[in-house]
Structure 1
């Protein structure tokens, strides 16, 4: 019984049984193809074991490609017998790599592929939301390995097809060796070519024209000379037939019910299950459906619409190629109806809804990019452009250092003036460089990041599976350049390409015009890999970065000159940074990882600036804070190098000058955000695309341990009871510090540490906790007295009353936290005056100074803090705090009232 494909014109006219001339040679090719097909069909049947949710890739699909090639090629396309054998072989193997059966050795063979670990790394990030831990790349969890296997089979099946006609399988039972092509002569002659054509169905059209020869390959010596093989024609037939095979043979409804595919896979099963066999009408392919798409199948109809657009694009690009090459054109050159959803719906009908293309469109892309990649995202902070370009350069430099196992080369940031008087910013790296695909694709695709993409895995195998962690992740940083200039140029060369491959992408009209890609002239060529981004400043007077005589604020940063600005933008960079400051010599600005080895004094000077007093002047010296700086370490990784900040945040320098210094959160060495309450550097991760908010890398416990050490260092300063002492206590409480000897409260007996407060509370049956908002402790006269702000007179403090520092006392914001461990204590609670329940009150206040007092009392009474909270007796039914008479005034015995946190009665504790 003949196979279905034997009835096609292409087969019957070339390898058909009824063709009389050269019967023996045709018979040899025909028989060899049938044997080839038998084994290929067996492998195709194994694909569902690994990609169960994919549509059918079985014998029906392989044979249908002959029919589609007939329809698409038309009468003008003829095949010689050798072309029929080669094309048929490419049909047979083009998708076999989607099943492990086509990989001798199974999953172990797949794991030996150069990018397997990269794919596992990508899947771990996708499924776990974090980089792979040590050992996970080689022994991933079952779900990660399954996801990696599916991605690898899909991404690599085309390249693996190039080998399938030549590789062998060996039986473990008999040691017998098998090939898909068992005829040695045919395998030797055409195996490689069949593989190349099969693999080409995933190539772009430019690679096809560049790979396959312009002239046919000669016939084998035992065949007529006219039996040539036009590999370009065959590659075009395969890619068009494969793209166009979208009908119910690939998605049988019963099989869909058996496999129950999910998500996007199910949508593809749905729409292909609707489609009938294609026809050709004039030069257009005609796709039709007998059964209309219901409202519940809207997504499937649009998936069909998009798939037919892909087919239409392939038909048009192949036709353009064949015309350019002066080759016979295919009969089908477009898809009917794809230019309009309404016209397509006359061929592929809907019921109960009308397909109107109401998808979101952006009519002014340059305007959108300018807004989202400029001031609307970053604010009026033109320094962002420099920071983002340094970040991109650092990522490229780290990538190359990882790939070559070499030390990272320096990045150069230059502020220059050309001969015409125009000012330029240039950021140059000697990193991995950009290929043409990156410069014309990812770089121009706003919001799409190269790092972690399939293109990165293809161009830089091993990078995803390495310790390389890019700082860039949003794919928008480059566009910050247009905040400060309209003319931008990018000169780049991949490190593994030749100097002559240097390319230049220019934006002569900014985002308003089309960029220009050109090959660099000899003078412009780079002789090593890397990238230079140059920005011609739009208005140099507005960005006068060189102010040597006095500090100047530039976009929120105080700096003395351009060098100082770059240093503050990248204070913990792990890549060397050099600066050229308008005609000056190149200067080393940052050494790789030097923030880890700088003295505290050096780090403070890097981060701070001389400032005029804004708040009351600090009295803490630079030397004291420098000596107080401590690292936070996790193994050999430094997560912070910082000290508690004085209140207000600043230090007195060696010459009596006042240095204003904030803590800084950095990611990838670049400044992300400021951190109140600390001086120094904490590493973190950006939480927003504009990089103004961050989470800390250090955990809650690591920060608490650091804060506990700081409490000990700052104990004498805090216990001097300056007007700001409550701010220190509040911050230490929020950070979970063991306050040790630090005073945390005050009683009539004086200031008490947590340990002393425990002793004070141990034998008491009743304690009233009040904050010191109304009652202020005054010890200026050498003894403690208590001043009531509301009564404006001195008062006596009851013996059971403990004053906790005001919970709303704070300076700056410590608003970067290491994850959910800090839930409920992310800020100092404000005095709302209303609480809903004891439990809600404690959830808000447990990290406050009052929380410290509660914990101390709980330890004294040997109970849980929650037990004390549940016994609250001062919250009325309306949830309002009560007031309490806390003493008698010295003069006139006038009672004074203060808001009370709560009243604790020991007898009520469960």
Structure 2
């Protein structure tokens, strides 16, 4: 029998075991029956997923040999532990087949994992049956599900079609009931993070069942779990990728590289120094260099797995493995000693980041955002909002539940800024791996489907997208604390609080610990805390220019003496409330502000911008202060469906309407004031966005605004004409009149010549008059026709095409004068200022009348 050639099998469940032979034989026969049935199940993996390297019974059997190489021949393992270990070998990959799931493919398509993947990869468009897209999706979902399903397989039954009999992989009832759950859980754990394995199995010791009496064969789940994961990682050799099968299946892409490098590899062997040797029989030519690098990366992962297992087993008081590391993985050149190359040198010349913290400081702080600390606060509020919405999408909060609190608290010479949300929270993995992975956003990563199953299927759309926003917090201060309390997700998740603490910014590694009783959160969510000095706080508070209030009034009396820079004599500073509201004027989440020990104040209610009084809404948008805005001119911008997509008015000055995405400011539009819903940012600084309003919505809004407030100001009408170009507005200046296009047509019938100036003239440098004189006394010549000339930036920021009034005039001229039109351009006198002639480039149109 194949297993008899493996030393570990022989000394535990094989013929060489001497003690308690009846009990050993009982386990041996039960395992062989278990193995025979599982072999038939996993035999279906190859035809279903031909891109995978071999996952059949030969891989499972080989793990007995690999375990012996890693653990060593003296590693303590009793027959019951060997039975559980062998069972986990059998089940760990067995769920890569449709038969492992109730209702097969249709059942898989009902899983959260399938729905998440289709939403994430295919924009929620279900792949066509039998298509390459469906096969790709099935491959990915089975890879994602197989460990989770392995947990159940020992107790899953299959029904014989002919007589309805039930069949189990582990047939013996008592063994299945006693060991089945543990076997399945250990099999599932090979895809867990190592620390989760420790937390789950450290105290799991299973005593021998009564039917194995009088043995004392207890099962230590922790060492079994680490034996499985290290052996499975280290089994890379030609048996897993036979050359002939490689030729038959012709895998492509990354699967091709996996097959190619493993086909060349020999069996992993432990050296006298306790290192695992990986070697190839033939060298890798230059054309196969990517496969070689994959072999090296895999060897490094195996080395990491073994080292982690050794450390964690030692810390848990378990016997160490005989193998301590992988040989020659310190450098790529050293690895080529055993895994040969031919015709090229394995020098790692790819892009490197020598000083990671320096790059993060450069790209994630002031170099990107400038010296604008309010942008860092915006990133914190945005991340908080995403977390709350994610929890809502998963059904753990109602659509109107959840809140964000922004707090300032004095502590000696520094002021702590705290941004706390009641959102989804972060697992230890997300906190330490994803959050700190610069440029990697959880919402767009593969980790989303495992960390927050079901979220992608809800078509959740986060505001954050670049994975760099958190690092802007170091613009506010070097001392930063991240406290998080994750919502538990699923049966395997834990809900424990963690505190990640940066004492000196990005210059020193942060520490991870449990928060103490005063630091703990009372609800699920996350709190970001940063210590700001006086100068940073002042820069944050002057982010807006209006509504000055004294910061002195924000703190308790007993705090004031501790702040030497704080004085009633100081310049008035804006209220922090205005800074916050400028950041998130249309947020759909309640925002609470807390100053020191004062009573918290709810400064924004979810979606209150829809019905907020105009004068209150305008307090949420920055103002230039150069013009006085009239809140009564604010009009709703609505789609035909009734959806409100903005509340805006025309300004014509340097004021800007705020564009928001997900309630957070994402851009602005000049010459308007108010708020507009927009698309997400297209730039890292988060300043470029555009409104989502349709052309029809803009046309209705502009017509209503013109009728109510437009008046006769040509510049205003010309700007708004952009939205409703079909309206005939008074835009053309002739003498002291302003004509509509219909009136201009009538006027042109009485003329055979017209001088046209584009845009009303303003003083230029070569005009021999002062600015004030020009502004007060300029008089337009009566024969000059002035066309409107709206600002380009207005049309560009709204992606509307600028109206070509010259082309419209020429169309009118042709309708009045016919085809006989001539034109030329020259500097002409267009007016005067107290007798001083003003010249500008004009176009002269002349009606050509043919002689009879």
Q: Does residue 522 of structure 2 align to residue 535 of structure 1?
A: no
Q: Is the 8 A contact 1:883 1:900 kept in 2?
A: yes
Give the CA deviation at 1:771.
5.5
Kindly indicate whether the alpha-carbon contact (under 8 Å) linking 1:884 and 1:897 is maintained by their aligned counterparts in 2.
Answer: no
CA distance in 1, matches of 2:90, 2:149: 13
Q: Contact conserved, 1:719 with 1:743, CA < 8 A, in 2?
A: no
Aligned to 1:691: 686
After TM superposition, list the pairs within 5 Å mapping 1:664-813 onto structure 2.
664-684=658-678, 685-698=680-693, 702-711=694-703, 713-714=705-706, 720-722=712-714, 724-725=715-716, 728-729=717-718, 732-733=721-722, 735=723, 737-743=724-730, 745=732, 753=740, 772-773=758-759, 804-806=787-789, 809-810=790-791, 812-813=793-794
Q: What SS class does the counterpart of residue 490 from structure 1 fall into?
A: strand
Give CA deviations for 1:5-44 in whole Å, capped at 9, x if unaligned.
3311122333335667765554444443333223222222
Stretch of structure 1 that moved more, 766-775 or 85-94: 766-775
When structure 1 is superposed on structure 2, of 335-344 and 383-392 the one drifting more is 383-392
* Per-residue Cα deviation, 1:129-186 (whole angstroms, up to 9, x for no partner): xxx4xxx689999777555433321122112111111101124454332211223233
- Single out whichever of 82-91 and 674-683 deviates more from structure 2: 82-91
Residue aligned with 2:388, SS:
helix
CA contact (8 A) 1:396 1:432 kept: yes
Are the equivalent residues in 1 in contact too, given 2:372–2:540 (CA < 8 A)? no
Match of 1:120 in 2: 118
CA distance in 2, matches of 1:477, 1:518: 23
User: What do the CA deviations read for 1:359-405 (whole angstroms, capped 9, x no partner)?
Assistant: 33323222222222211111121111221222222222333344324
Give the CA deviation at 1:234. Answer: 2.6
Cα displacement string for residues 646-704 of structure 1 (whole angstroms, at most 9, x for unaligned residues): 3225xxxxxxxxxxx31111122111222113222122211112111114333xxx134
Root mean square deviation, CA, Å: 4.4
**Among residues 143, 158, 167, which one is paired with 1:169 in the alignment?**
158
Q: How many Å apart are 1:198 and its aligned residue?
A: 1.4
CA distance in 1, matches of 2:130, 2:846: 53
Match of residue 440 from structure 1 = 432
Gap change, CA 1:772 and 1:101, over 3 Å in 2: same
Structure-to-structure mapping, 1:860-875, within 5 angstroms: none
Single out whichever of 367-376 and 739-748 deviates more from structure 2: 739-748
Per-residue deviation, 1:299: 1.8
In structure 1, distance between residues paired with 2:129 and 2:656: 42
Q: Which runs of 5+ in 2 are unaligned?
A: 551-571, 763-773
Structure 1 partner of 2:646? 640
Candidates 432, 445, 454, aligned match of 1:462: 454
- 1:864 aligns with none
Distance 1:171 1:851 in 2: 81
2:71 alignment partner in structure 1: 73
Aligned partners of 1:855 and 1:26: how far apart in 2?
Answer: 100
- Which residue pairs with 2:565 in the alignment? none
- Say whether the 8 Å CA contact 1:730–1:848 is kept in structure 2: no
- Contact 1:745–1:803 (8 Å) recurs in 2: yes
Alignment partner for residue 14 of structure 1, among 5, 12, 16? Answer: 12
2-structure distance, mates of 1:667, 1:493: 27
Q: Which moved more, 1:500-509 or 1:585-594?
A: 500-509
> 1:484 maps to what in 2?
476
Selected match of 1:414 from 407, 416, 432: 407
Return the alpha-carbon distance in structure 1 between the equivalents of residues 599 and 795 of structure 2: 40
Deviation at 1:602, TM superposition (A): 3.5
What is the aligned residue count?
A: 803
Could you tell me which of 270, 280, 284 is aligned with 1:280?
A: 270
SS in structure 1 of the partner of residue 341 of structure 2: coil
1:298 to 284, 289, 296: 289
Distance 1:386 1:166 in 2: 52
Q: Secondary structure at the match of 1:426?
A: strand
Separation in structure 2 between the aligned mates of residue 888 and residue 903 of structure 1, nearest angstrom: 17
Structure 1 residues 321-360: aligned runs within 5 Å: 321-360=312-351
Shift of 1:256: 3.2
What CA deviation, in whole Å up to 9, does each residue of 1:288-324 have, x standing for no partner? 1122222222222111111101111111122223333
Partners of 1:422 and 1:793 lie apart in 2 by 61
SS at match of 1:696: coil
Is contact 2:115–2:454 with CA below 8 Å preserved after alignment?
A: yes
Question: Quick check: 2:498–2:515 contact (8 Å CA) kept in 1?
Answer: yes
Determine the C-alpha separation between the residues in 1 that align with 2:224 and 2:631.
78
Aligned to 2:442, what secondary structure does the other structure show? Answer: coil
Preserved contact between residue 487 and residue 508 of structure 1 (Cα < 8 Å): yes
Equivalent pair of 1:120/1:145 in contact (CA under 8 Å): no
Match of 1:159 in 2: 148
- Per the TM alignment, residue 347 of structure 1 is displaced from its structure 2 partner at its CA by 0.8
Are residue 256 (structure 1) and residue 235 (structure 2) matched? no
Alpha-carbon distance in structure 1 between the residues aligned to 2:744 and 2:251: 65
In 2, Cα distance between equivalents of 1:26 and 1:477: 59
Q: Secondary structure in 2 aligned to 1:510? A: coil
Q: Secondary structure at the match of 2:479?
A: strand
For 1:22 and 1:583, how far apart are their aligned partners in 2?
71
Change in CA separation of 1:62 and 1:394 when aligned onto 2, cut-off 3 Å: same
Matched, 1:267 2:257: yes
Displacement of 1:478 after TM fit?
A: 2.1
Q: 1:677 to 1:309 in 2, by over 3 A?
A: same
Q: CA deviation at 1:354?
A: 0.7
Shift of 1:529: 2.3
User: Mapping of 1:609-648 within 5 angstroms?
Assistant: 609=623, 611=625, 613=626, 622=630, 625-626=633-634, 629-633=635-639, 635=641, 637-643=643-649, 645-648=650-653
Flag structure 1 segments of 5+ consecutive residues without an equivalent.
Answer: 650-660, 777-787, 829-846, 862-867, 875-881, 906-910
Select which of 280, 284, 289 maps to 1:289: 280
Are the counterparts in 1 of residues 43 and 56 from structure 2 also a CA contact under 8 Å? yes
- Cα deviation 1:528-548 (Å, max 9, x = unaligned): 223332222134376166689
Cα–Cα, structure 1 residues 889 and 108, in superposed 2: closer, same or farther, change >3 Å?
A: closer
Please show how residues 380-399 of structure 1 align to structure 2 within 5 Å.
380-399=371-390
Distance 1:854 1:610 in 2: 39
Normalising by structure 2, we get a TM-score of 0.83
**Which residue in the other structure is 1:473 paired with?**
465
Deviates more, 1:492-501 or 1:303-312: 492-501
Contact 2:481 2:500 in 1 (8 A): yes
Q: 1:300 to 1:489 in 2, by over 3 A?
A: same
- Please list the CA deviations of residues 234-268 of structure 1 after superposition, one character each: whole Å capped at 9, or x if unmatched: 32222121101112222233433443333222222
- In the TM superposition, what are the counterparts of 1:31-180 in structure 2 within 5 Å? 31-77=29-75, 79-124=77-122, 128=123, 132=124, 146-180=135-169
Distance 1:754 1:796, change over 3 A: closer
The secondary structure found in structure 2 opposite 1:486 is coil
Q: Is 2:244 the partner of 1:238? A: no
Against the structure 1 CA distance between its residues 267 and 855, is the aligned structure 2 distance closer, same or farther, given a 3 Å change threshold? farther
Change (3 A) 1:774 1:886: farther
Deviation per CA, 1:572-594: give whole Å up to 9, x if none.
11111222356765333222111
C-alpha separation in 1, matches of 2:614 and 2:417: 32
**CA–CA distance in structure 1, aligned partners of residues 19 and 497 of structure 2:** 55
> Using a 3 Å threshold, how does the CA distance of structure 1 residues 333 and 707 change in structure 2: closer, same or farther?
same
SS at match of 1:234: helix
Q: How does 1:172-191 map to 2 (within 5 A)?
A: 172-191=161-180
